[in-house]
Structure 1
Amino acid sequence: MSTSRVLSWSVTASGGYETAWVEDGDGVLRARGRAVGTTPEPYWVSYELDTADGFVTRRLRVTVEGAARTRSLDLRHDGRGGWTADGERLPGFGDALDCDLGLSPLTNAMPVLRHGLHRQPGERRLLMAWVSVPALTVRPSWQTYTYLGPGRRGTRVRFASGTFRSDLEFDADGYVVDYPGLATRLA
């Protein structure tokens, strides 16, 4: 059974906002979203995200519009370890199951949902296909998600990548409510 929801965040890291229209159910997530940022310069982001079973990324299409130009990215995962960006093969992503769209709290949901980290103890170290915004470059990013327990607004999960650490809060459905330093869900 599929559930539809609209999620909106104030994204302090970009000086903007994001809204995602999400459908999920039976281990699959589909979303389309729009964001506006003002840092480092004003830009608009539009994206469509499709996952396969187990919330594994199938495809992320992103467009960034700025004053000087428009950039687009078509990131695809074949489900067997192969990733392409605009049809060009990406080496070094073989273990990655997920994309991580920079400055977007939505894509933090996929690994948390897959491993139930918003409901039960555990820790997972995962390779992500990280997409920078607004440049839309793709690079490998090792990330660790660790269940910490109940929080003020949901379940706390520590996110770590390199030397960066932040204790995120997820709602009962596995979506970010609060990502300190990045975004806060709007009511």
Structure 2
Amino acid sequence: MTAAPNTVLTWQVEETGGFETAWVELNGAGLRAHGRAMGLRPEPYWLSYELETGDAFVTRALHVTSHTADATYVLDLRRDDGGHWTANGHTVPGLDGALDCDLGMSPLTNTMPVLRHQLHRTEGHQDFLMAFVPVPTLAVRPNLQAYTHLTPLLSGARVGYASGSYRSELDFDADGLVVHYEGLATRLNRTDRARS
């Protein structure tokens, strides 16, 4: 893994008519990030988030604040060492066994399951139960997803994604970060270090 601390990534998010920028720190077995996003669909919104994982890129905490014209939503999503998930202090049913959060419309949170199973480097297929966070309402719910290594690329790999009847393909770079998410988002920059 070659991504340096304070990597800054920006995606054009075609599905929402908006953009996302994330400041990402990757180490051998964990990820920390904070980001900002804005979109016009399903309604105009902007949001900020902070994400922290533990070993094997398992989610520890996701804090999100989302603003629309009519409301502000706040989510403090946490997974403890026993695998118990809470949202704003309340148990989220149906998430036993889930290791990852998935922030809707964000290509960043596709990184954790892919890195854990090295699907950007080797063949394989994995099914996941995810703590899905829809945007802009942030009402957490369980979601079944599948990732399949399809083909190696010059740097990284193409990975198939499925959830229910939805299908897509994602291109990941050598660090396991999304370059292109078919139908959703396209990264606008290479992996660059933030300047202090």
Higher strand share: 1
Per-residue Cα deviation, 1:46-67 (whole angstroms, up to 9, x for no partner): 0000000000000000000111
Per-residue Cα deviation, 1:103-122 (whole angstroms, up to 9, x for no partner): 00000000000000000011
- 1:77-92 to 2 correspondences below 5 Å: 77-92=79-94
2:10 corresponds to which residue? 8
CA distance in 2, matches of 1:51, 1:145: 19
2:33 corresponds to which residue? 31
| Structure with more relative contact order (C-alpha pairs < 8 Å, separation 6 or more) | 2
- 1:1-187 to 2 correspondences below 5 Å: 3-151=5-153, 154-187=156-189
Q: Is the 8 A contact 1:153 1:169 kept in 2?
A: no
Cα distance, 1:90 vs structure 2: 1.1
1:175 alignment partner AA:
L
Q: Is the 8 A contact 1:153 1:177 kept in 2?
A: no
Identity score, percent: 59
2:45 alignment partner AA:
Y
Q: Which runs of 4+ in 1 moved over 6 A?
A: none
Structure 2 unmatched ranges of 5 or more: 190-196
* TM-score, normalised by the number of residues in structure 2: 0.92
Structure 1 unmatched ranges of 5 or more: none
- Partner SS, residue 56 of structure 2: helix
Cα distance, 1:91 vs structure 2: 1.6
Q: Is the 8 A contact 1:154 1:177 kept in 2?
A: no
> What is the number of residues matched between the two proteins?
187
Per-residue Cα deviation, 1:88-138 (whole angstroms, up to 9, x for no partner): 011210110000000000000000000000000111101000000011111
Cα distance, 1:40 vs structure 2: 2.2
CA distance in 2, matches of 1:109, 1:161: 16
CA distance in 2, matches of 1:131, 1:110: 15
CA distance in 2, matches of 1:168, 1:79: 30
CA distance in 2, matches of 1:141, 1:40: 19
